[in-house]
Amino acid sequence: MKNTVREIAEVFRYFEEICEIPHGSENMDAIADYCLRFAQENGLRALIDGAKNVVIYKSGTAGYENAEPIIIQGHLDMVCQKREDIAFDFEKDGIKTYKDGDFIKAEGTTLGADNGIAVAMIMAVLASRNIPHPPIEAVFTTDEEIGMVGAKKLDFSVFKAKKMINLDSEEADVLTVSCAGGSDFKLFVPTDKRVVHGTKVLLEIDGLKGGHSGVDINKYRINANMLAARILNKAKKITDFNLIKINGGTKDNAIPFSCRAELAVDNAEKFISIMNDYISDLKNEISDREEACLINLTAGTEDDFEVLTPSDRDKLIYLLLTTPNGVVDMSAQIEGLVETSLNLGVLKTKPDGIVMRYALRSNKASALTFLEDRMTAFAEYNGCGSQISCRYEPWEFKKDSPLRELYSKAFCEKFGREIKVSAIHAGLECAVFAAEIEGLDCISVGPDMFDVHTVNERLSVSSATEIFELLCDILKKCK
């Protein structure tokens, strides 16, 4: 679109300015102030709330004054990761970007194109006098990366729109129309201890692929916590040991790639010799899926150790062997979509018991409720405590979506091919908005980004340009 050449340049200028401002999750003050200054400089009305969410309003352009308003939305925070060999303070330092062919990259850190490029695109639309559009309610939410915290605290009475474009997707050829809802489930296993004399043996599992508990759950990657349980169960059958502690995983929503268990045994050399044969067979069994898996047993010091009672050790192993985990159900509406799943992401030994933390997901609200009920029953029957927190509703697929049809048609006209209409088994803020705004017609789109949330994150310049042009085209057609 020739009339957007200046605006395209502005997109990347705004993105560079955003990169210069520290804006990791829970560090929102400076980036929120930047948004407010932008609104003031462009003569636009803006609101900010206690969670630092910013809403900016712009009237419809000539001929669009009475058109239905539309929400355009992105989030302000980024995931902060860096290489260990660089000195960088995400609280103070700006992201250092550079161009590599068609890509914008960062020097040793995450780039924050998720979701800084969305904020930049929206600002370019708001600042422009050349792009025809209906009344816009631009929403910049905070702390999306740590549980959609900002979106959940929004006052939705400030919106009049019944249509919304979310710009938090990462594949230009994909139009997202549904996402999973979710909750965090904590299961607490109370334990008693006793003191035994023996030699410590360390069981270490590492090198598994792990992954995102939504995006990667259907790839059937090995869960390190459950693999550890399998090894301990075998050890219980063929030899004798006591369990000092076991810890695996760091986040509910990440498939754990490592786990460590400390054991106390009478004869460490004999124990390791017996178990190494089984471990060899186990590694061979899973090598086609987990070729980099490492499982090691290492003897430590001889001493007195506080360990779980035999009955509590056996109960924990039973729970880990029988717990629901992974894909529960596939969608009958959208081919290939995981509809319901859960992930045992964290296993942690506490002084008074063992904590097992799960991420529960479903693209249907009723199925999510049933999964919570199922896990609660599992906990209660086994004499364990449980807690459900951080719940958010799914964004369910709508059979009738004029905005979806409009975007699909515009994409085909621009690129000469059909867009892939898809759903994701992960969370998007669309779910929060759809739950609060009755009858909301919502889509999620975005440019090509790769390796987000890692130090290899990169943004395609050409794709960002094309998606911005398409966004402008959609706004022009919302008359």
Q: Kindly name the residue from 143, 144, 290, 312 that is annotated as catalytic.
A: 144
pLDDT at 23 over 80: yes
pLDDT at 50: 97
Q: Kindly name the residue from 7, 10, 77, 396 that is annotated as catalytic.
A: 77
Task: Give strand ranges (E) for 158-241.
Answer: 163-166, 174-179, 181-190, 193-206, 211-212
Mean predicted lDDT score pLDDT of the chain: 95
CATH architecture of 183-391: 2-Layer Sandwich (3.30)
pLDDT tens-digit series, residues 297-339: 999 999 999 999 999 999 999 999 999 999 999 998 888 899 9
pLDDT at 2: 54
H runs (alpha helix) in 50-175: 113-127, 149-152
pLDDT at 390: 84
pLDDT at 254: 86
> What value does the mean pLDDT take over residues 402-414?
97
pLDDT at 4: 74
Task: Assign a CATH topology to domain 2-180+395-477.
Answer: Aminopeptidase (3.40.630)
Q: Count Cβ atoms below 10 Å from residue 108 Cβ, excluding itself.
A: 16
Torsion of CA 282, 288, 290, 291, to 10 degrees: 100
Give the pLDDT band of residue 220 (cuts 50, 70, 90). Answer: confident
pLDDT at 334: 82
> What value does the mean pLDDT take over residues 25-42?
98
pLDDT at 402: 97
Task: Measure the CA–CA gap between 356 and 349, rounded to whole angstroms.
Answer: 9
pLDDT tens-digit series, residues 65-112: 999 999 999 999 998 988 889 999 999 999 999 999 999 999 999 999
| 77 classed as catalytic | yes
The enclosing H or E element of 335 equals none
Give the pLDDT band of residue 49 (cuts 50, 70, 90). Answer: very high
| 266 classed as catalytic | no
Where in the chain are the domains? 2-180+395-477, 183-391
pLDDT at 427: 86
pLDDT at 335: 84
- The helix-helix angle for 113-127 and 5-19 (nearest 10°) equals 130
Give the pLDDT band of residue 3 (cuts 50, 70, 90). Answer: low
Give the pLDDT band of residue 146 (cuts 50, 70, 90). Answer: confident
Among residues 75, 71, 74, the alpha carbon closest in space to that of 58 is found at 71
Beta-carbon contacts of 88 under 8 Å, excluding residues fewer than 6 positions away, are: 82, 108, 109
Give the pLDDT band of residue 1 (cuts 50, 70, 90). Answer: low
pLDDT tens-digit series, residues 100-143: 999 999 999 999 999 999 999 999 999 999 999 999 999 999 99
pLDDT tens-digit series, residues 224-268: 999 999 999 999 999 999 999 999 998 888 899 999 999 999 999
Q: Count Cβ atoms below 10 Å from residue 85 Cβ, excluding itself.
A: 6
DSSP bridge partners of 206:
294
pLDDT at 431 over 90: yes
